[in-house]
């Protein structure tokens, strides 16, 4: 019985630890702070649903130099943090356009 309680406790601790780390980015805040980053807000046209926003998010997350992004539908916008020494702004726009959408920079 004592062994069973110990095993249950271990499983609960593992589940709690995994729940706390689930969904966290592999890139830590200190990684972002160590290199100079820029943030840009974009107007995205052509999105018709949340799946469209996920499509753009997936494409950007696979793009080297993009540190973080928030793609909003509804709202038709995106806030992207990137490393200008690794990716040019124009490449971010091209990535979105290759996904089938239009993007233009909003004034800050």
Mean per-residue pLDDT pooled into runs of 10, the chain (108 residues): 67 57 48 74 95 94 95 94 95 96 89
Residue 15: the pLDDT is 59
The pTM of this model reads 0.65
Residue 34: the pLDDT is 52
Boundaries of every domain in the chain = 25-105
Residue 88: the pLDDT is 95
Residues 6 or more apart whose CB falls under 8 angstroms from that of 77 comprise 41, 42, 43, 44, 71, 106
Please tell me the class of the 25-105 domain. alpha beta
């Amino acid at each position: 019985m004592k062994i069973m309680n110990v095993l249950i406790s271990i499983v609960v601790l593992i589940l709690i630890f995994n729940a706390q780390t689930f969904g966290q980015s592999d890139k830590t805040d200190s990684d972002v702070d160590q290199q100079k980053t820029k943030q840009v807000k974009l107007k995205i046209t052509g999105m018709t649903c949340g799946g469209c926003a996920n499509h753009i998010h997936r494409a950007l997350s696979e793009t080297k130099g993009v540190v973080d992004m928030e793609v909003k539908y509804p709202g038709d916008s995106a806030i992207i943090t990137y490393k200008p020494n690794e990716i040019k702004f124009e490449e971010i726009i091209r990535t979105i356009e290759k996904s089938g959408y239009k993007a233009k920079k909003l004034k800050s």
